[in-house]
Amino acid sequence: MEVKTSLLDNMIGVSDMVLLEPLTEDSFLENLRKRFDHNEIYTYIGSVVISMNPYRSLPIYTPDKVEEYRNRNFYELSPHIYALADEAYRSLRDQDKDQCILITGESGAGKTEASKLVMSYVAAVCGKGQEVNKVKEQLLQSNPVLEAFGNAKTVRNDNSSRFGKYMDIEFDFKGDPLGGVISNYLLEKSRVVKQPRGERNFHIFYQLLSGASDDTLKKLKLDRDFSKFNYLSLDSAAVNGLDDAANFRTVRNAMQIVGFMEDEVQSVLELVAAVLKLGNIEFKPESRCNGNDESRIKDKNDLKEMCELLGIEQSVLERAFSYRTVEAKLEKVSTTLNVAQAYYARDALAKNLYSRLFSWLVTRINESIKAQTKSRHKVMGVLDIYGFEIFEDNSFEQFIINYCNEKLQQIFIELTLREEQEEYVREGIEWTNIEYFNNAIICDLIENNQNGILAMLDEECLRPGTVTDETFLDKLNTICAKHQHFESRLSKNSKFLTDHSLPHSCFRIQHYAGKVLYQVEGFVDKNNDLLYRDLSQAMYKATHSLIKQLFPEGNPAKVNLKRPPTAGFQFRASVGTLMKNLKTKNPNYIRCIKPNEKKASHIFTESLVRHQVRYLGLMENVRVRRAGYAFRQLYEPCLERYKMLCKRTWPHWKGPAREGVEVLMGDLQIPTEEYSYGRSKIFIRNPRTLFSLEERRRECLQDLATLIQKIYRGWKCRRQFLLMKKSQIVVAAWYRRFAQQKKYKKIKSATTVVQSYTRGWQARKLLRELKYQKRCEEAATTISAYWHGTQARMELRRLKQEVRNKHAVTVIWAYWQGTKARRELRQLKEEARNKHAVSVIWAGWQGAKVRREYRKFFRANAGKKIYNFTIQRIMQKYFLSLKSNMPSMSPIDNKWPNRPYLFLDGVHKELRRIFHHWRCKKYRNQFTEERKTVYEEKLEASEIFKDKKALYPSSVNQPFKGDYLEISKNPKYQKLSSAMDEKVLLADVVNKINRANGKGTARIFLLTKKSVVLADQKTGQVKTSVPLPDLDSVSVSTQSDGFFALKLKEGSASAIKGDFLLSSEHLIEIITKLHRTGAMAADREQLNIDISDEFLVQFKQDKVCVKFIQGVSKNGNSASCKRKNNRLLEVLVPSLA
């Protein structure tokens, strides 16, 4: 496709109606037809976009188209909705102006699709990033959810919005989306119980029955057959081009992305199923003895299934359908309901149940998509509200819808036509006033606080006595008869008495879009919107998680006898708030036009389009734009934006802003007919003049950026040069130092060598002298020694000779004495030998005798003796072997010597058992009471966490210290220690997890026998004290993280602020001591330990799911917590290697 570079290039017809010549209604329509026939569905009126519904898909919304219109001037390319969205987004981002995009038109003109295109474009062009993409996806995915529950097929539109939606998208200063807020207006809840011919109920009913699995339908007690449900119309159940089953899957996926929990989705589907079941409840009349008629339920099966879905007692709801209780100040009156009243009560309950469910969905979506930061936000509002409706039968809903469209038309007139003309007059600009229709008189007819139709309807509803639709019509005929835009057959205005097109039970209003005939039937009931108090109280008794939130007025403790505000009053207040909100923002208009009533492509019905052009005031809009100025701006911001284009105003202008702008425009040589000076603003007539200024400013900014870059690069190079110069000086200094040190070491080494040689020579010389002197001394000594030796040897020889002579005499005497002694010894031995022989002979005889007797005894007992001796020797050897191979005294040492023989197996095992018990006793005797307590805690930790928690094995070898902070000794915690009345069993620093962002705050965790205390780490001030009886349970994961949740008992004093989610490095010890402290107390229940990877934590009024998954954590090897949405905290636990 050829890319257009200008609004005027390759133009089909006229792209901007301001340029149309001649300007007549016929030429206006012909231009629209010509562009529509060539698939050009968008046309400009200045900054207003006219959108024709093509009723088919066109290839003009591709990513390439998004890039084509991104950051381009509004008039630079051919007309497109993307151009308006880009202009609004850039004004918000660059000029800090809050924007709103108002999309108006008839039902079926394509407003909902236009709002989707705007949101998808803004999501595509704003910033990127994980958090930003998540916010964008949630904002976009909120549409399918709201469409499923709030849109329906009508005779004019297959996807008609049956509620009004206004979304404020919030951005930060960079233009990245932070979140959003959705407001809904007047859901058409009467559609739940009755649909006009050719139309369907809300999409969700058909999507649920078509797309849910068989198992889901079985749980919801539903059947796929549409004909089995009274609230579903059958003639239009299937719609061409709508795949309800696929759309149901889309809705489920969108709810998950937006942030709905699985149990919330199930609860919503249960309520939808309950509405369908409620429509199948039928009543039959039954006469009482007093003559009054009352109603009874025909088949109670559907009632039973509905009560099972909602958790309501069947008898309670059955009575609420049969009786009505009216309460006055001091008394209650109970009356029976007839069949018609019972059906009214059933339908009222169905409408209220579905309407409140829809409001809860909007609130729940707002919780997920709201901005988390509290800083100032930029806001872009997108209004997608029901279009003007004119049906064959128009009732209260069409009246309210058309009133809203009147207000939107009024704000369009004020902001585009009247405001623009009034601004020219205020600023003193020459101007020719252009006449246009102001619909303020119609708005006043409807909303006037005294004589307005809504005020009279409210007054009639609140009036005591008999109130009917006819009395309301009579009141209108009396008060509004002379109003030029009100018509009624029974009014006092005689010109309508013979108007047969105006039935008696109707009234007609001349809206800006044409005359609409309203059936007065049902106005009072629909405005009252009453739900019997018996039904509200019955709903409040339900055990379903959502019902009590939807029916708070059913609480018997908070009975309010004040009448609730009417539907009309609530809607008027909502519309007033919306109008105030829109007036605070810069408006951008998309005027949607329906080309035909057949919802077919390529058909252009001129009469229908002409009618829409007239009531939308498009011709007046063109005339105002052609006669006026395309752009206006205050002097101060104008000068601030364009002052760099003139040397005299750059960089600062010291005079008045207007004079500066005059100097600037004169210097730029812009023709004087292209602009005018007002009292406070400058007005620029042609958009091309503004584009020229913007282009010059862009070029100037590029030059300034180049200058800044040049100066920065020069500064950076100079800084680098000075750094290198300084480094060179330092390097040179260090090198000179090194060279001098090296030279000094070399000289020192040479000097040392010379000194060593000199000292060596001197030492050797001295050594030679000493050796010579020593040799001389040794020679004298040797001579002296030889002389003394000779003298000693001569003396020795003399002495030996003398001794030898004396020794000879002694030897001879000794020999004689020895001979004499030996002779005497032989004699004594002979005498003794003779005496011994006799003794030996006698002993031998006695021995032989004894051996003869013993031989008989030995033969009888020798085997047993040898056996016992052998066994004794084996046992002795076994015990000695055990003694030398005994294992260590450690109780965990399983070593034991092998048994040497099989018959010792029993003894071997028993000795091993006795030895193990003995060494265990010896080991236990070494324990102090404190150490014994630690081992008991270790044993209890094993029972709780072994094979259940991945963190447990790493804690086995870590002793339980208890007081890690040494509170009693540390002066920093002296104040905290004195505040504790009991002994502190455990003191440690933990991280208290913040629900908003998942980050941790350091807290001191103290455990005593009666309470758990959390204190500030820096000041030591006690933040929270929780008595142990208030603890219900503790939840931890199965993984290796340190996160744990202290869950408090519901209704306890400590449960006001909710549960605590903490993390600690000593999780095993903390949980064990908590469990042990609870088990030792006789006055309270044992603390429950819940080990699971997903558990709920109560934060004040909200329940948040904490989910543990394995993955790569940003904190390295430690687990990290991250908020996924308002109902989910995700903990990333690093996987163990």
d(CA 19, CA 26): 15
Name residues whose C-beta falls within 8 Å of residue 636's C-beta, 6 or more positions apart in sequence: 657
Structure tokens of 375? 């800083």
Name residues whose C-beta falls within 8 Å of residue 663's C-beta, 6 or more positions apart in sequence: 646, 648, 649, 653
Q: Which residues pair with 1016 in a beta bridge?
A: 1003
d(CA 360, CA 354): 10
What are the catalytic residues? Answer: 107-108, 112, 157, 160-161, 387, 389
DSSP one-letter code for 1030: G
What are the DSSP calls for 695-759, one per residue? HHHHHHHHHHHHHHHHHHHHHHHHHHHHHHHHHHHHHHHHHHHHHHHHHHHHHHHHHHHHHHHHH
Helix (H, G, I), strand (E, B) or coil at 56: coil
**If we measure between CA atoms, which residue out of 154, 104, 110 comes closest to residue 391?**
154
**If we measure between CA atoms, which residue out of 994, 995, 917, 960 comes closest to residue 1074?**
960
Inter-CA distances, 469 with 344, 393, 445, 460, 572, Å: 16, 16, 19, 9, 20
Name residues whose C-beta falls within 8 Å of residue 503's C-beta, 6 or more positions apart in sequence: 489, 517
Inter-CA distances, 632 with 77, 430, 629, 930, 1132, Å: 22, 15, 7, 84, 54
What are the DSSP calls for 989-1004, one per residue? EEEEEPTTT--EEEEE
Residues 654, 553 contacting (CB under 8 angstroms): no
d(CA 643, CA 711): 22
- The answer to whether the bond into 656 is cis (omega within 30° of 0) is no
d(CA 1070, CA 1064): 9
d(CA 800, CA 511): 170
Rounded to 5°, the CA angle 501-504-508 comes to 60
Instruction: Name the strands in the sheet holding 1102-1110, side by side, starting at the edge strand that comes first in the sequence.
Output: 1094-1099, 1102-1110, 1128-1133, 1120-1125
Q: Which residues pair with 160 in a beta bridge?
A: 152
d(CA 677, CA 660): 12
Residues 199, 155 contacting (CB under 8 angstroms): yes
d(CA 942, CA 1068): 10
Q: Residue with structure tokens 């590029």?
A: 702
Q: Is 545 exposed, middle or buried (0-12, 13-18, 19+ CB in 10 A)?
A: middle
Q: Which residues pair with 1035 in a beta bridge?
A: 1045, 1090
Ramachandran quadrant class, 502 (left: phi over 0; alpha: psi -120 to 50; beta: rest): beta
**If we measure between CA atoms, which residue out of 575, 460, 467 comes closest to residue 164?**
575
- Count CA atoms closer than 13 A to 1108's CA, side-chain side: 24
How many residues in the chain? 1137
d(CA 68, CA 5): 10
Name residues whose C-beta falls within 8 Å of residue 386's C-beta, 6 or more positions apart in sequence: 107, 160, 161, 162, 163, 164, 401, 404, 405
Q: Residue with structure tokens 């930790």?
A: 941
